[in-house]
Structure 1
Amino acid sequence: MLKTFVVEDNPEQLATLREIIANHIMINEFDMALTLATPRAQELLDYLDGQPVQEGLYFLDIEYPEQELNGLTLASKIREQDVNAKIVFVSTHAEMAFLTFERRIEPLDFIVKDLGAATVKEKVETDIRVAYERYTKQGVASEAMFSYAKGGQLFNVPLAQVLFIETGMSRNRLVLHLEERLVQYNGKISDETTAHPELFRVHKSFLVNPQKLVRIDKKHQLGYFANGETVDIATRKMRDLVKLIQKSQWTVTFDEN
């Protein structure tokens, strides 16, 4: 998940940025979260000290009056902790843009507030899409990913977040069960079985990530996940599933009775 942060000391502008970012993430169903939106620069550093972040997206101002940290110093400290940080400055101080290069901050963008609300919104949304695209491409290179298409866009989520896929209520409709949300998209479960050999077809209606199972009830032919969700396991699939789990030495509890 791509974590996003905002530090803006103007309450109205903070609220506006929070709304723009949250809405754009929700509408596009990006695997992102607005983790922290605060007027205090130090609060963000405190968060990073306690919960290190890799490849976060940060929206910062240049100046924070009456605070010890300004935006440039904050950005430098962020870069020290999150070397792949995607930093966007949103400021009225266009003349300060050159300092971001002098400090080797390497920002993703520098948005000038004076351009107007509509332009700022457009640029913020563009930066979110660019940051998310880079994040997903980097993720593909470093870990196994699950891809699906929706609304003409291709989405990637870490395979480790996938619990299972089930057939939907309508023809060629699938429901992707992730650890924290559901996604509906068009597709065939047979195609997903072929495209993702890491997943296991336990039933004509269910394709599971076997590494996410925590318990199997052999008598009632059910597979359980940590969040309480269950899937049916066909009789002819049970033996092969158990053999796979035991061979891979995954931690799964088996109920025999």
Structure 2
Amino acid sequence: MRGLLKTFVVEDDPEQLATLKKIITNHIMINDFDMTLALATDTAQTLLDYVSANTDTEGLYFLDIEYAGQQLNGLELASKIREQDVNAKIVFVSTHAEMAFLTFERRIEPLDFIVKDLGQEAVKAKVEKDIRIAYERYNKQGVANKAMFSYSKGGQLFNLPLAQVLFIETGTSRNKLVLHLTDRIVQYNGKISDETVAHPELFRVHKSFLVNPKMLVRVNKQDQLGYFANGETIDIAIRKMHDLLALIKQSQLPVKLN
């Protein structure tokens, strides 16, 4: 199981904000979910600032459609969240049922659209159901990501065990990546920043290298190099060395350090 699933609420009506906070915190506590209500605010920009500052966030977001007097509306906020958190679970809670179609037009892919006019009990039931669905998907997604690595080449999707991945490096051409596996090397289209988000088990040791820490056999701190069993090496940026060593120690990986 992964870390806590963070939950966020943006609602500019104080009473409704308090109600959503209570529903969410109670449901998390009663079910003993590994979740937390990370932020509940009446200002859209506050949430956007949080997500922008915490680029590794994977969350469940409860948003309204309209925020009176604010620069961002809920649709714009959701679109910006989706850019930062590609796995975001977004739920709209709004009186503007007629706006639901816009969430599809803008490719926001919401988990749910809850109409406030349904009444407090119906809204409560839907919010609780969405929490359970988001939590289940979050944990299943974590298992899948840890077990498998996927890439697309020539219009075909390839899946392989993550344990076969040594590292990924940027290619010589724009938007080209080179995937180093235990038994072969594959070049495909992609961005290393996207792979960093899609595969949190991999660690960005350099602007050009994304490594599978479990496949390292040795790290030379002085020469700033990482070694693999097949003899390949990668450069490790000075500013990344401390974090990599901390990860190796925390995860108790059998990596030789010198």
After TM superposition, is the score higher than 0.5? yes
The structure 2 residue matched to 1:107, chosen from 97, 107, 110, is 110
Give TM-score scaled by structure 2 length.
0.56
Please, which moves more after superposition, 62-71 or 43-52?
43-52
Partner of 1:34: 37
Q: Give the drift of 1:250.
A: 8.6
Show the counterpart of 2:120: 117
> Which amino acid in 2 is paired with 1:74?
L
Q: Is the 8 A contact 1:54 1:84 kept in 2?
A: no
SS at match of 1:248: coil
| Structure 2 unaligned residues grouped into runs of 5+ | 148-250
Structure number with larger C-alpha Rg: 1
User: How far has the Cα of 1:54 moved from its partner?
Assistant: 3.9
Cα deviation for residue 51 of structure 1 reads: 1.2
> TM-score normalized by structure 1?
0.56
Q: Indicate the SS of the match to 1:143.
A: helix
What stretches of structure 1 of length at least 5 have no aligned partner? 145-244, 252-257
2:16 is matched by which residue type in structure 1? Q
Contact 1:54 1:83 in 2 (8 A): no
Distance apart, 1:249 and its partner CA: 4.8
CA RMSD of aligned residues (A): 2.0
Superposition deviation, residue 143 in structure 1:
3.1
Quote the residue 2:230 is aligned against.
none
Contact 1:5 1:34 in 2 (8 A): yes
AA paired with 1:47? Y
Task: Provide the secondary structure at the position in 2 that maps to 1:64.
Answer: coil
Q: Which residue of 2 aligns with 1:18?
A: 21
Aligned match for 2:136, one of 112, 133, 136: 133
CA–CA separation in structure 2 for the residues paired with 1:69 and 1:76: 11
Partner of 1:248: 254
1:136-151 residue pairs with structure 2 within 5 A?
136-143=139-146
Query: Distance between the aligned counterparts of 2:7 and 2:43, measured in 1?
Result: 15
- Aligned in 2, Cα 1:108/1:248: closer, same or farther, shift over 3 Å? same
Distance in 2 between residues matched to 1:247 and 1:56, nearest whole Å = 28
User: What is residue 64 of structure 1 aligned with on the other side?
Assistant: 67
Q: After superposition, what is the alpha-carbon deviation per residue over 1:191-212, rounded to whole angstroms, capped at 9, x for unaligned?
A: xxxxxxxxxxxxxxxxxxxxxx
Tell me which stretches of 4 or more aligned residues in structure 1 moved more than 6 Å.
none
